[in-house]
């Protein structure tokens, strides 16, 4: 008899992390094959788990930091605060965060694997946390589609960081920086500080005051500026794969526009794409649309108006935050908000907060993200999430993300950065005049 052949074993990928639900104890073992690096910012890194239609957000730490540096208690605070912030927006614009515990067998192995996907400029921090936050994956349409709506093609997701949508009053600006004579918004002034620090190579074409103006022409100009100079304020994904953002060429973006707009000409595709973005951010989810005139206010039911309304808490209460603690890792003001909310379940809880607490709510909205997920549909539908542009019909969902708490040091740092930015702009103007 011949020697029997052994069946080759299928090589399986080792578990790289285990997710344990804090609410019901559900355990999910995840290997590398199930994880997709999605994106990251200064504080957090996001991994997608496509088969679960979920994303896992992990807090970043300094290399070789103790695992306790990002404690479970801190992630609990972020999760609870995120729910409070979400309550300030229409339910249509929010998603439910789920606190999860993590079991990571080898942090060094996880970070080594992640390093091949991460931008080199972001690799100054690593993953050392023992808890994370699980969200629905916004690369997939999150709205419940009516049975008669058929989607086609790939799903696209756009992230916009709208930034501060209001201008300082003349008296506030004089108090912040007496030498400033420019009527410049904070975002535009910050561009010159970033030039000095060499974190950007050119000034952005985007101005948030145009985006929040309610004037369709100015809003289109702002959206075009975001696309032309994305920096970290505009990104686009196709079926979960990043195809456009800062320091990326526009090949994937051009392909996406042709796939969605089908005009055979990039300028026409871009024009229609900007129209789609505009209609999505001014759509009133209470059922009304912005008037088509050149000048109009943002409708109360639009995602942009709701973001601005929360941002204004920061504007209206900035002057009374001088006594805030200047401690990087202190979150005393946020803890006061959490305590107040736990003790008051009524709808008017917001009116019970003092001005300093409201400032911190507004400060969160200054750095939030606006996520737009969209896909083509085969036939026109009267659902209010459906937008028609140049004969192409799209179903759209809008979400506010990155609703994270700010440390007690935020007002002091905010004022300091503001002063530095207006000085950088003044110096730029003086140097340009002299040369």
Residue that the structure tokens 């190579």 belong to: 201
The reported pLDDT for the residue numbered 25 is 86
> Which pLDDT tens digit goes with each residue over 88-110?
999 999 999 999 999 999 999 99
The reported pLDDT for the residue numbered 54 is 95
Mean pLDDT of the chain: 88
Longest CA–CA separation in the chain, Å? 97
Residue that the structure tokens 């950007």 belong to: 200
The reported pLDDT for the residue numbered 181 is 73
> Which pLDDT tens digit goes with each residue over 242-262?
999 998 999 999 999 999 998
Q: What are the structural domains, with CATH classification, of the chain?
A: 15-136 (3.30.200.110), 149-434 (no CATH)
- Which among 78-92, 129-143, 336-350 has the top mean pLDDT? 78-92
pTM value surpassing 0.75: yes
The reported pLDDT for the residue numbered 66 is 64
268, containing H or E segment = helix 266-282
* Cβ atoms of residues 141 and 100 within 8 Å: no
Residue 67: pLDDT over 60: no
> Which pLDDT tens digit goes with each residue over 260-287?
998 889 999 999 999 999 999 999 876 5
Q: Give phi and psi for 36, each to the nearest 5.
A: -130, 125
Residue that the structure tokens 């997939």 belong to: 140
| CB-based contacts of 276-280 (< 8 A; 24+ apart in sequence) | 276/374, 276/387, 276/389, 276/394, 277/158, 277/160, 277/223, 277/372, 278/216, 278/219, 278/220, 278/223, 279/387, 279/389, 280/372, 280/374, 280/387, 280/396, 280/398
> Which pLDDT tens digit goes with each residue over 364-417?
999 999 999 999 988 655 655 689 998 889 999 999 999 999 999 999 999 999
* Cβ atoms of residues 311 and 165 within 8 Å: yes
> Which pLDDT tens digit goes with each residue over 167-193?
998 888 888 888 777 788 999 999 999
**Residue 3's pLDDT band (cuts 50, 70, 90):** very low
The reported pLDDT for the residue numbered 152 is 85
Task: Tell which wins on pLDDT, 140 or 155.
Answer: 155
The reported pLDDT for the residue numbered 274 is 98
């Amino acid at each position: 008899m011949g020697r029997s052949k052994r069946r080759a074993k299928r090589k399986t990928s080792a578990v790289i992390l285990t997710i344990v639900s804090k609410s019901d104890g559900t355990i999910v073992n995840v290997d590398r094959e199930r994880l997709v690096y999605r994106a990251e910012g200064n504080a957090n890194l996001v991994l997608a788990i496509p088969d679960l239609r979920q994303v896992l957000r992990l807090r970043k730490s300094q290399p070789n930091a103790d695992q306790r540096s990002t404690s479970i208690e801190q992630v609990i605070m972020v999760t609870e605060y995120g729910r409070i912030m979400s309550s300030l927006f229409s339910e249509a614009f929010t998603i439910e965060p789920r606190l999860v515990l993590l079991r990571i067998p080898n942090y060094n192995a996880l970070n080594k694997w992640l390093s091949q996907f991460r931008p080199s400029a972001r690799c100054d921090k690593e993953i050392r946390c023992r808890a994370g936050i699980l969200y629905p994956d916004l690369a997939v349409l999150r709205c419940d589609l009516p049975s008669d709506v058929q989607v086609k093609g790939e799903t696209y997701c756009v992230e916009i960081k709208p930034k501060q949508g209001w201008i300082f009053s003349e008296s506030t600006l004089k108090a912040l920086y007496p030498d400033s004579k420019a009527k410049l918004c904070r975002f535009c002034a910050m561009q010159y500080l970033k030039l000095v620090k060499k974190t950007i190579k050119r000034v952005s074409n985007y101005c948030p005051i145009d985006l929040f103006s309610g004037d369709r022409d100015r809003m289109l100009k702002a959206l075009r500026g975001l696309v032309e100079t994305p920096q970290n304020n505009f990104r686009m994904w196709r079926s979960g794969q990043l195809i456009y953002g800062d320091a990326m060429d526009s090949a994937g973006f051009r392909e996406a526009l042709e796939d969605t707009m089908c005009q055979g000409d990039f300028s026409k595709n871009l024009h229609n794409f900007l129209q789609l973005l505009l209609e999505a951010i001014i759509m009133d989810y209470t059922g009304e649309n912005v008037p088509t005139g050149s000048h109009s206010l943002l409708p109360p039911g639009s995602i942009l108006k709701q973001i601005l309304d929360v941002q204004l808490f920061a504007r209206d209460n900035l002057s009374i935050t001088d006594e805030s603690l200047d401690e990087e890792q202190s979150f005393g003001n946020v803890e006061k908000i959490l305590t107040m909310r736990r003790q008051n379940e009524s709808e008017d809880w917001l009116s019970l907060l003092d001005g300093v607490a409201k400032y911190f709510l507004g400060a969160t909205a200054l750095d939030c993200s606006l996520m737009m997920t969209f896909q083509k549909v085969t036939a026109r539908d009267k659902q209010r999430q459906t937008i028609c542009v140049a004969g192409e019909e799209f179903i759209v969902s809008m979400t506010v993300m990155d609703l994270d708490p700010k440390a007690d040091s935020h007002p002091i740092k905010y004022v300091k950065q503001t002063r530095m930015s207006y000085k950088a702009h003044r110096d730029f103007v003086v140097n340009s005049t002299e040369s």
